Copies of this chain bind each other. A is one copy, B any other.
Amino acid sequence: MNTYPECLSCLLKQTIQTVKFAKAKKVTQKKIIKEIEKKFLPFVNLKLSPPEISRNMHIKIKELLKNDDPYKNVKTKYNKIALSLYPSLKSKIKKSNNKFLTAVKIAIAGNVIDFGVQLAFDIKKDVDDILNKKFAIFDFEKFKNKLKKVKDILYLADNTGEIIFDKIFIEYLIKTYKSNIIYAVKEKPILNDATIKDAKWAEIDKFAQIMSCGADSPGTVLKYCNKEFLKIFKNSKLIISKGQGNFEALDRIKKPIFFLFKIKCDLVANYLKLPIGSIILKSNL
């Protein structure tokens, strides 16, 4: 996806949020915000995708903070909150009349946990809202048919917290479709995105093969991915992509990708001509 001038204000919002989450001293916070305003934003190349620009900005912020994981505490907190919801989410599938639909919705519901764009939320309420919500784009039959035919799935993870929701969906896919899943996470901390450490903590390795995509961008920007991942990506017959960041990074790639996410900003809303907050299951082919 293209980057729009409006993304600049969102990048500044991310900066402010990041220095706060890092609990830097007030004077350091101010210094870093000014530095980004003066020396990063005016020079942004809008031809790059939003996750790529965001990556470059966060490399700078992390350097200035002298902290390679400013979201560390927040990530731990939301991993734990998500884990505490695990039993009730599992039982929602068990009790559901349409188990597959509920499983897909739980995977999307996990996407409400995202500090990149939204600040205020209430996870439990948001999860229930999504379970009661209709999809705005819903390539459901296509997705089901694909799952019946293709057993090897590349699953692009998104955020911490959300990974527990992914785990539930993955367990369902394995049980129902006998899928073999590669679960790809980020190489280094970026915003609250999940890394190998998080995926292992969530014990996703009990069900899927965990790997790093090699990138440290909030969204799988292929030019930063490692060779091993790119080979798997290239050969994949079915890719499940979680979150708006992965959509922004990959929507122009002609591959059998199913994007699962909630629309979190006006620009993506305008791009898809749908209201903000819409939930999406979109086939890219």
Residues in B whose Cβ lies below 8 Å from that of A37? 8, 37-38, 41-42
Please determine whether A16 and B5 come into contact, CB atoms closer than 8 angstroms: yes
Among residues 1 to 36 in chain A, which have CB atoms less than 8 Å away from a CB atom of chain B? 5-6, 8-10, 12-13, 16-17, 20, 29-30, 33-34
Please determine whether B5 and A9 come into contact, CB atoms closer than 8 angstroms: no
Cβ of A5 to closest chain B Cβ, rounded Å: 5
Q: With A38-B37, A42-B37 in contact, do A266 and B119 touch (Cβ < 8 Å)? A: yes
Please determine whether B8 and A33 come into contact, CB atoms closer than 8 angstroms: yes
Decide if A285 is an interface residue (CB 8 Å cutoff).
no
Between A and B, 16 residue pairs with Cβ closer than 8 Å are: A5-B20, A6-B13, A6-B16, A8-B16, A8-B37, A9-B9, A9-B12, A9-B16, A12-B12, A34-B42, A37-B38, A37-B41, A37-B42, A38-B38, A119-B266, A120-B275
Decide if A269 is an interface residue (CB 8 Å cutoff).
yes
Please determine whether B9 and A269 come into contact, CB atoms closer than 8 angstroms: no
Decide if A211 is an interface residue (CB 8 Å cutoff).
no
Task: Select A38's contact among B33, B42, B119, B270, beta carbons within 8 Å.
Answer: B42
Residues in B whose Cβ lies below 8 Å from that of A270? 120
| Closest residue of B by beta carbon distance from A11 | B9
Counting every copy of the chain, the complex holds: 2
| Closest residue of B by beta carbon distance from A269 | B120
Cβ of A41 to closest chain B Cβ, rounded Å: 5
Docked CA distance A34–B41 (Å): 8
Using CB atoms and an 8 Å cutoff, list the residues of chain A in contact with chain B. 5-6, 8-10, 12-13, 16-17, 20, 29-30, 33-34, 37-38, 41-42, 119-120, 266, 269-270, 275-276
Docked CA distance A37–B269 (Å): 25
Cβ of A100 to closest chain B Cβ, rounded Å: 32
Docked CA distance A38–B38 (Å): 4
Most chain B CB neighbours (cut-off 10 Å) among A9, A10, A29, A266: A9
Docked CA distance A265–B23 (Å): 23
Residues in B whose Cβ lies below 8 Å from that of A42? 33-34, 37-38
Which 4 pairs across A and B sit closest by C-beta, in order of nearness? A9-B13, A9-B12, A34-B42, A37-B41
| Closest residue of B by beta carbon distance from A30 | B5
Residues in B whose Cβ lies below 8 Å from that of A33? 5, 8, 42
Please determine whether B29 and A5 come into contact, CB atoms closer than 8 angstroms: yes
Residues in B whose Cβ lies below 8 Å from that of A29? 5
Residues in B whose Cβ lies below 8 Å from that of A10? 9
Docked CA distance A16–B276 (Å): 19
Docked CA distance A275–B30 (Å): 27
| Closest residue of B by beta carbon distance from A7 | B16
Residues in B whose Cβ lies below 8 Å from that of A275? 120
Most chain B CB neighbours (cut-off 10 Å) among A33, A37, A119, A276: A37
